[in-house]
Chains A and B, each alone.
Chain A
Amino acid sequence: MLSYLTGRLLALIPVLLVVAVVLFLLVRSTPGDPARVLAGEDATPEQIKMLRRDMGLEGPLPAQFVRWLGRAVQGDLGRSLFNRLPVSRIIGQHVGPTLMLSTMAVTISLSIGLPLGIVSAVFRNSWMDQAGLALAMLGAAVPTFWLGLSLIVVFAVNLGWLPSSGFRSPTEDLRRSLTYLVLPAFTLGVPSSALIIRFVRSSLLDVIATDYVRTARAKGLGQRLVIFRHALRNALVPILTVIGLTVAALMGGAVVTETVFAIPGMGQLVVQSVLRRDYPVIQGVTLVVATSYVLINLGVDLLYFVVDPRVKY
């Protein structure tokens, strides 16, 4: 176990290194000299030179990369070109709403996806199965932002049940804060539940076809016991994989959803930074997102140990 974990962690290094190189090169290949852009029109050559040193733009490219990476590893992601605040602090201010939104979205997609997937598999080829599959097909084709706008039209504009957009801090008023998150969380969660339905269905169908499930049925166990005690437990490993994929997909979807619902999270931050050409922030947010994406997937892999005692590495 320990050696497996060490191996997995070591394998992350090249992946994260590639991530870092890509982001470093992306910002370096922007048109123009970032220091000159930042210094403004009437800066003296000395000022630009100082600024360039300040931003770590001196010396050959590999040296710049090492310096940048060294700082990034210590949490120093540079400063925003827009408001001169440290990027790490800006990210800190935006991470909360995104975490809340994703947690709610994962909860929603699991509470829709798991039961519907189980029902689809147990009542195979029934109308419920067909409906589940249709929902899954549709969920894969609907653009997140369009779903979000449609939900706003129906539930905020026409029915007036929920606020159409915005964010309220949970520390002030938790209830209010959650009502603001209902529509965005559904927007984000429903399409990924489509993926979960299909995966739960197919992995459960595989297990239901096995001998030990037939044995369980043959010895007279009830349907509920067979499905939950025997089948579902053994279908958990592939289901976990898809949950990991879902969480990862949510991080991408959050970018769009936060923009639709004006939620001040990481996604909105990255879009705004692109429009402002604030490269250090784009770089920092993307680095944090990619790193957490990789770590979440590792976490999911490690969960296999918990759900399946046969898994040995």
Chain B
Amino acid sequence: MATRSVEWDARAQATKRPSAGTLFLRMMRRRRIIGLGAVILLLVMAAAAAAPWLTPYNPLAPDVPARLQGPGPAHLFGTDDFGRDIFSRVLFGARLSLLVGTLVTVLATAGGVVIGLAAGANPRTDRVLMRIMDGLMAFPDIVLAIALMATLGPSVRNVIIALGFVYTPRVARVVRASVLVIINQEYVEAARAVGASRARIMTRHVLANSISPVIVQATFIAAYAMLGEAALSFLGVGVPPQIPTWGGIIASGQVYLRQAAWISVFPGAAIILSVLALNLLGDGLRDFLDPRLRYSS
């Protein structure tokens, strides 16, 4: 039974590539945890997109008479020391968190792919580039991000640049490792033999075949980036405090832990939920995309 399905899969793949939709459905069926991660993530995204329609309150508008109210029907997650509605602030914070997560991932993946390809393709550039990557990875992530923020100054753009820079070496390593394997494969040699250009080989053959580990890594980087942004904003060196962010809301509630712990509890739960979703997605994708595991179940 097992061998038949392997053959069938192999033949199906040889004849035509399954469409993205088919792949997605197959993925959902095979790995429930990917589905779970994807559903949670989509819910967070939908909540962020629909934020203005989900809440009657302005996340920035103070309402002093309503300050420090506990969670209740009027304010689902309570209010903070200015009487601002925590539920709205968490929803709008989701927008920023997702924006930072996405752009950091794009930046780190793009940078990492370019560096990884350049390193994997040429032993001499490899030595130089990988030493630099090792040097950058010698810093604990958050410490390097803080040092970069000190130079760049607090702003949303700079948080994205700093975290993108910090996570680039991780992608570069993954890409380089798979390039080194792929570049010695027969099909690459065949492509070279039929006269394909270097650029074509690198993009159509090498990059295309190393895309799965990059996707997996990108998912984890999105999770790290959301945690990193929250930590930077919590410490007061990330996104400026007038913009609602999960880390910033938690920091603002720190003084009121005794009277109003809900200020910090709900944004924290939002972080945990989103990061958990991304990690589930990453774990599931790794199992699904790893060719050694693909046929095992």
From B139, B237, B247, B272, residue with most partner A Cβ within 10 Å: B139
Are A293 and B254 in contact, CB atoms less than 8 angstroms apart? no
Q: Of B139, B140, B237, B257, which one neighbours A275 at CB under 8 angstroms?
A: B237
Instruction: From known contacts A16-B138, A22-B136, A252-B140, infer whether A277 and B150 are also in contact, taking CB-CB under 8 Å.
Output: yes
Q: Which residues of B contact A260 (CB under 8 A)?
A: 254
The dominant DSSP class at the B interface is helix
Assembled-state Cα–Cα distance A294/B231 (Å): 23
In the bound complex, how far is the Cα of B234 from the Cα of A253, in angstroms?
13
Is B271 part of the binding interface, using a Cβ–Cβ cutoff of 8 Å? yes
Interface size on A, residues (CB 8 A): 53
Number of B residues, CB within 8 Å of A = 44
Tell me, rounded to whole Å, the shortest Cβ–Cβ distance linking B135 to chain A: 2
Contact present for A152 and B279 (CB under 8 Å)? no
Interfacial residues of chain B within 222-240, with CB under 8 A of chain A in the complex: 223, 227, 230-231, 234-237
Chain B 159-213 residues near chain A, CB threshold 8 A: none
Given contacts A140-B279, A286-B144, contact A279 B138 (CB under 8 A): no
Name B residues whose Cβ lies closer than 8 Å to a Cβ of A.
Answer: 131-132, 134-136, 138-144, 146-151, 153, 223, 227, 230-231, 234-237, 247, 250, 253-254, 257-258, 261, 264-265, 268, 271-273, 275-276, 279-280
Residues in chain A within 8 A of chain B (CB atoms): 14-19, 21-23, 26-27, 29-31, 137-138, 140-146, 149-150, 152-153, 157, 164, 248-249, 251-253, 255-256, 259-260, 270-271, 273-275, 277, 279, 282-283, 286, 289-291, 293-294
Q: Can you identify 28 A-B contacts, CB atoms within 8 angstroms?
A: A19-B135, A19-B138, A22-B139, A22-B144, A137-B276, A138-B272, A138-B276, A141-B223, A141-B272, A141-B273, A141-B279, A143-B234, A143-B250, A143-B271, A153-B261, A157-B258, A252-B143, A256-B235, A271-B235, A271-B236, A274-B147, A275-B237, A286-B144, A290-B138, A290-B143, A293-B139, A293-B140, A294-B138
